[in-house]
Structure 1
Amino acid sequence: MRDSIIVDMKYADFDIINGQYGVERHHCLGGPNRKKADEDGLWVPLTPEHHRMGKISAHQSTEVQKLLQIIAQLSYELNEVSQGLTVDEARKKFFDRYRKFYI
């Protein structure tokens, strides 16, 4: 699994919602895109409560899930722009890879 491009790896042991220690990696794009998300570093650290168990967890709350998908797309595009692509090229590359827009 590639390092996250969403969070600075020095903070990868802390929940992105409340900063608590003791996290799991949540793939922001799941299902058939999970492996690609691994390859692209589209994951965030979440405590079990924020990952899968609590009512505001990524797997229980549609709002949290959608927010993380938007963050993943923006992070991917920003990473591609930093590599020299235009915003439009980065957005097209995301769509070509994931077959969906989240923003």
Structure 2
Amino acid sequence: MSKGIVTEYPEICIFCGRQAEAEHHLIFGTAGRELSERDGLKIPVCNNCHNMGQKLCRIHENPMAERLSKMLGQAIWEKEWITANSQQEPRKAREAFRKRYGRSYL
């Protein structure tokens, strides 16, 4: 698994602590997944927490978990943007995210 910007432990499922077997892209969908990969917006997950567990215990096909995933991805992206663009106003990060990903989840 390649390293994302969310955690320093890519081998551990971020939810349950088991061995990670997959990566979950925090912003997903047709174009979102590719951008998410480039931006490091992914988290290590076990298959159970990703898409094979019970509906309320996994990310995919769980509307609330999917929504929170995208919100987390945007918040982390904006934090990174603000850090990299310290001369800019922090609120411009939201505009930059919208421009890159096509919408805001926050």
TM-score (norm 2): 0.87
Aligned to 1:97: 100
- Contact in 1 for aligned 2:11/2:20 (Cα 8 Å): yes
Counterparts in 2 of 1:80 and 1:2: CA distance versus 1, 3 Å: farther
Runs of 4+ in 1 over 4 A off after TM superposition: none
**One-letter amino acid of the structure 2 residue matched with residue 98 of structure 1:** Y
- Contact in 1 for aligned 2:10/2:20 (Cα 8 Å): no
Counterparts in 2 of 1:18 and 1:2: CA distance versus 1, 3 Å: closer
Q: Deviations over 1:16-40 (max 9, x none)?
A: 1111113210111112211111110
Cα offset, 1:2, TM superposition: 6.1
TM-score (norm 1): 0.89
Give the % identical residues.
27
Aligned to 1:86: 89
Q: Which stretches in structure 1 are left out of the alignment for 5+ residues?
A: none
- Contact in 2 for aligned 1:24/1:48 (Cα 8 Å): yes
The 1-side partners of 2:50 and 2:97 are apart by 24
The 1-side partners of 2:17 and 2:104 are apart by 29
The 1-side partners of 2:90 and 2:2 are apart by 23
- Contact in 2 for aligned 1:5/1:76 (Cα 8 Å): no
- Contact in 1 for aligned 2:4/2:43 (Cα 8 Å): yes
Q: Deviations over 1:67-94 (max 9, x none)?
A: 1111100000000111124321111110
Q: Which stretches in structure 2 are left out of the alignment for 5+ residues?
A: none
- Contact in 1 for aligned 2:32/2:101 (Cα 8 Å): yes
